[in-house]
Amino acid sequence: MGFYFAQLLTGLANASSLFLIACGLSIIFGVTRIVNFAHGSFYMVGAYLAYTLVTTLPAGIFGFWFSVIAAALIVGVVGLIIEVTILRRIYHAPELFQLVATFGVVLIFQDGVLAIWGAEDLLGPRAPGLDRAVRIMGEPIPEYDLALILIGPLVLAGIWLLFHRTRWGVLVRAATQDRDMVDALGVNQAWLFSGVFVLGAALAGLGGALQIPREAASLQMDLSVIGEAFVVVVIGGMGSVAGAFVAAVLISVLNAFAILIFPQISIVLPFVVMAVVLIVRPYGLFGKPGSEHGGAAEPEQPLRLMSSQGAMVLAALVFALALSPAVVSEFSSILLVDVMVATLFAVSLHFMMGLGGMVSFGHAAYFGVGAYAAAMTVSFLGFGMLPAMAAGPLAAAAAALFFGWFCVRLSGVYLAMLTLAAAQILWGVVFQWQDVTGGDDGILGVWPPEWASDDRVFFYVAFVACIGGIWLLRRVAHAPFGYGLRGIRDSELRAEALGMDVKLHQWMGFALAGAFAGLAGAVFAFSKGSVFPDALSIAQSVDGLMMVLLGGIHALAGPIFGAGVFVLIEDWVSRLDYWRFIFGAIILVVVLLAPDGVAGGVERLLRVLGLRRGDAA
Amino acid sequence: MMSVLEVRGLSKSFGGVEAVADVSFGLARGEFLALIGPNGAGKTTCFNMLNGYLGPDRGSVKLNGQELVGMRPRRIVRMGVGRTFQITLTFLSMTVRENVQMALIAHHRRLYDLWSRAAQMFVPEADALLDLVSMREQAGRPCSELAYGDLKRLELAIALAHEPVLLLMDEPTAGMAPSERVALMELTAGIVQERGVSVLFTEHDMDVVFAHAHRILVLNRGRLIAEGTGTEIRENALVQEVYLGGGTVFAREGDDA
């Protein structure tokens, strides 16, 4: 009995740290509608800063708590700088574009922390005065855990007072409900947003600083915490602080007991809980309808068929690509396969995100399922490459049909999060199910057959699959089915009034996007000769998102630009020291110069140069 | 005359408020029927039950003898009930013509076509519909840059693409300039006559109602209080009280939903 109580207390202590990170994220989203990927970075920086302060300042109770609070405040200032210099400039960019900027910040912080604090994990000292364990029902409980259990509700109470007893807090709550109304009332939105961002960042910094006696500060802290923090925010309801608290307790306590029964479950448990909650309550526990969307987007320009000039340029480019193996080195030819695979992946994501308005944070799931299905068709069933390349998209479509059925019932950020949950659950299955998937060791020896083993020959196999896939998706985008998806995105009510089955249409769109991601995955498997769980990871999903958003979500050519730019720059900078910093900085520059993505930027450049007419009547 | 639409005993309550109570009426083929009433009379609730967005608590809605209650909105559309919205809803990322083409594509059940080029489908049909509402010159413009009155006319063309037998128009002239209102309703009346479509519309502008409606239903506090031609309604004492003496009525009985 005592053991279970101890387990419960551990769960509650974890819940407090999780709550501190998640509530800041939730407040920031509620007001600014920014999905802040950099929130984990604030948490990490808070931990490192606290470590430095605690070890530099004279030891003692005062020194420790001063360090914790100072670290949180410094992180708040860092948040202010980021908000004022970067985010403030792009509030009016298309929905979710800010996510790209925060991703750039994540990369810069990773290398910044590496440069300042080094690669080694840093374990802070125990908290003075709280460094022992007390026995509760016979079990030793660290005093510090008990302190954390108190701190969580204290912070919750503090935020509640701030939001209900101060004018500023009332404005924050008002802006969470309707920021345009608050703007219309003459409130200076810019400073309200800055204030909220600072508060959120400081809370994340506090969460990180409080962790140092429990866990070493490491360079992986940022991304390991961000997934779980998002889950908590979504379960609680975007923008709801009380919801974040309840969700943090729910997740942490469930986790504390679940690992006793089934230790492997802890990686996927939060995502399973999130999936269940979202299926039952589409806006989270405390969320309200309407909380799921970002700022209102500018209406998109109609699609136009390509002009004959444009078609000729494109044909020339594709032709040049087709001839490239004869000219470029073998190494570049492999790189070009990477670009084609990434482009097909990005185009398939854009198909559901840009045309369908269904944002996915977990598109890698279908890429990975395609890759694994192809690899397993070869290694278990002994089939050749071509059947395997057909199995990839089919398996991915099946997975997308299954998960999509649940996802299309939600919208906005909630839909995005359910796709993330689906991807994480699949990733967990692949990672744990060693006998079938090889777990962490992956599946090796997935090479093309003899006739295609030459890199140049395989280039053409990839060329046909990827360029063919991209062409097919474009064709569908211009077909009634693609128009229907776009129509549903523009106005569901109008689509229904035309007699369209909105959910069925979206479901089929989801599955089609999944199938083509699976095709990209199958080509990927053969180009690398192996598959690892990474293929389904959040990182892979985020790469896809970056390509689509960076390229420009409002243009069909967007993902093509985005993927090309992304893979080529990544390939180039990843050979350098501190490449993440450089890559992050490049992303920020692109974001600030072209808030409508590369495709939008190129279009504007062409217009400025007089190479393209304005809007045709 | 055989009714296209037969509504019997339609009722709906929200909490304790009877938004629509025991409403019955018929609509003949080719008839232009107005449903009027003060704010909160239950017009929109009534509409939403006719087109399937709300399930009534009681009552039946029959289209040419077939029961519509319990059907999903999209099934009702397929049965031949078109609608226009109080605040126009169009696909903003498409051109004017493409909006009509989408309606035609949906009507001809080609939505799952993955191959044809949508922009090249049903062009003559779409242009004919745009001609009907005098929007042909604007066919290539993006919907997002149209003036509001033009959007209203486009919505009419979209609704007609389904060859409806019944058209439900929720405040067709709301938000338009007075001169445009008359023009739009004249246009609608002409189309109704020519195509034999029946129209049920709600409207606040009495000039529009009295000028065009063949028959008028007056709804107040969820109940039908009068029914008749323009002259009959004008002279109805109860209607006059509701519209002109509304202040005292509300003061005595409290506000309704």
**Residue B68, both tokens:** 């519509």
Give the confidence band of A32 by pLDDT, cuts at 50, 70, 90. confident
Q: Please tell me the predicted confidence (pLDDT) of residue A292.
A: 64
**Parallel, antiparallel, or unpaired for β B223-228 and B66-67?**
unpaired
Taking CA–CA distances from A512, the nearest residue in chain B reads B114
pLDDT confidence tier of residue B205, bands split at 50, 70 and 90:
confident
Per DSSP bridges, beta strands B166-169 and B198-202 are parallel
Give the per-residue pLDDT at A76: 96
The confidence score (pLDDT) of residue B129 equals 94
Same domain, A213 and A346: no
Report CB contact under 8 Å: A484, B102: yes
Interchain CB contact of B237 with A (< 8 Å): no
Q: What is the pLDDT of residues A74-94, one digit of tens each?
A: 999 999 999 999 998 888 777
Residue A391: what residue type? Answer: A
Answer whether B94 sits within 8 Å of A508, measured CB to CB.
no
Q: Is B202 exposed, middle or buried (CB count within 10 Å of its CB: 0-12, 13-18, 19+)?
A: buried
Contact B85 A493 (CB under 8 A): yes
pLDDT at residue B181, rounded to an integer: 87
Q: What's the pLDDT at A298?
A: 62
Q: Which are the contacts of A46, defined by CB distance < 8 A and separation ≥ 6? A: A71, A72, A75, A204, A205, A206, A207, A208, A209
ipTM: 0.90
> In chain B, which residues have their Cβ closer than 8 Å to the Cβ of A301?
93, 142, 144
CB pair distance less than 8 Å for A299 and B93 = yes
Phi-psi region of A553 (alpha: psi -120 to 50; beta: other; left: phi over 0): alpha
Instruction: Give the pLDDT band (50/70/90) at residue A173.
Output: confident
Query: Which of A105-109, A511-515, B239-243 shows the lowest mean pLDDT across its residues?
Result: B239-243
For residue A6, tell me if it sits in a domain: yes
- Single out the residue of A411, A304, A329, A260 nearest to residue B141, CA to CA: A304
Q: Mind listing the domains of chain B with CATH numbers?
A: 3-80+164-253 (3.40.50.300), 88-147 (no CATH)
pLDDT band at residue A48, thresholds of 50, 70 and 90? Answer: very high
DSSP three-state, residue A603 = helix
Contacts of A481 in chain B (CB under 8 A): 111-114
Q: Does A302 touch chain B (CB under 8 A)?
A: yes
**A586 is a domain residue:** no
Which phi and psi angles does B56 have, rounded to 5°? -70, 155
Task: Give the strand order in the sheet containing B3-14.
Answer: B17-28, B3-14, B58-63, B66-67
**Do A215 and A348 lie in a common domain?**
no
Domain endpoint, select from A537, A562, A595 = A537
Cα–Cα distance measured from residue B215 to residue B25, given in angstroms and rounded to the nearest whole number = 11
Domain boundary among A220, A254, A281: A220
pLDDT value at residue A141? 87
A273-320 confidence digits (pLDDT tens): 988 998 888 888 888 776 666 555 566 778 877 777 878 888 888 888
A529 belongs to a structural domain:
yes
Query: Are A373 and A391 spatial neighbours (Cβ–Cβ below 8 Å)?
Result: yes
Instruction: Please judge whether A479 and B116 are an interchain contact, meaning their C-beta atoms are less than 8 angstroms apart.
Output: yes
B73 to A486: CB separation less than 8 angstroms, yes or no = no
Q: pLDDT band at residue A534, thresholds of 50, 70 and 90?
A: very high
Mutation pick from A483, A485, A553 vs chain B, by most beta carbons of B within 10 Å, is A483
A161 three-class SS: helix
**Which range of residues forms the domain containing residue A372?**
335-537
Question: Is residue A329 included in any domain, yes or no?
Answer: no
Number of residues that this document lists for chain B: 257
Cα radius of gyration rounded to whole Å, chain B: 19
Q: Is 50 exceeded by the pLDDT of residue A514?
A: yes
CA distance B141 to chain A (A): 6
**Residues belonging to chain A:** 617
Q: Residue B249: what pLDDT? A: 47
pLDDT, position A297? 59
Regarding whether A533 and A388 lie in a shared domain, the answer is yes
Convert A283-322 into a string of H (helix), E (strand) and C (coil).
Answer: CCCCCCCCCCCCCCCCCCCCCCCCCHHHHHHHHHHHHHHH
Report the distance separating Cα A476 and Cα A472, nearest Å: 6
Give the pLDDT band (50/70/90) at residue A154: very high
Structural domain contains residue A342: yes
CA distance A445 to chain B (A): 36
Whether residue B111 and residue A480 make contact (CB cut-off 8 A), yes or no, is: yes
pLDDT-derived band at B254, boundaries 50, 70, 90 = very low
What three-state secondary structure class fits B48?
Answer: helix
Backbone φ and ψ of A443, nearest 5°: -115, 125
Side-chain half-sphere of B31: how many Cα atoms within 13 Å? 20
Average pLDDT, chain A: 89
* Average pLDDT for A434-443: 88
- Evaluate whether A347 touches A559 at the Cβ level (below 8 Å): yes
> In b/e form, how buried is each residue of A333-354, taking b as 16+ CB within 10 angstroms?
bbbbbbbbbbbbbbbbbbbbbb
Where does a domain end: A537, A566, A582?
A: A537
Give the lowest-confidence range in A604-608, B69-73, B173-177, B222-226: A604-608
Instruction: Flag whether pLDDT at A615 surpasses 60.
Output: no
The predicted structure's pLDDT at residue A617: 34
CA distance B75 to B83: 13
Given a cut of 50, is residue A384 above it in pLDDT?
A: yes
Task: Count structural domains, chain A.
Answer: 2
Q: What is the mean pLDDT of chain B?
A: 88
The token duo for A237 is 């309801």
A476 touches chain B (CB under 8 A): yes
A487, B94: Cβ pair inside 8 Å? yes
- In this predicted structure, what is the pLDDT of residue A209? 94
Determine the distance in angstroms separating the CA of B253 from the nearest CA of chain A, rounded to an integer: 33
The identity of residue A496, as a single letter, is E
Pick the closest to residue A230 from A541, A536, A532, A534 (CA basis): A541
User: In this complex, is the C-beta atom of A617 within 8 Å of any C-beta atom belonging to chain B?
Assistant: yes
Question: At B174, is the secondary structure helix, strand, or coil?
Answer: coil
N-terminal to C-terminal alpha carbon distance within chain A: 76
The pLDDT confidence band at residue A506, using thresholds 50, 70 and 90, is very high
Question: Measured between CB atoms, which of B77, B98, B143 is closest to A497?
Answer: B77
A209 in a structural domain: yes
Contact residues, chain A, for B116 at CB < 8 Å = 479-480
The mean pLDDT value for B111-134 works out to: 94
- Among the ranges given (A205-219, A285-299, A367-381), the one the predictor scored with the smallest mean pLDDT: A285-299
- Collapsing DSSP states into helix, strand and coil, what is residue A437? helix
For the ranges A509-513, B151-155, B202-206, the one whose mean pLDDT is highest: A509-513
Which two tokens mark A214? 């429990």
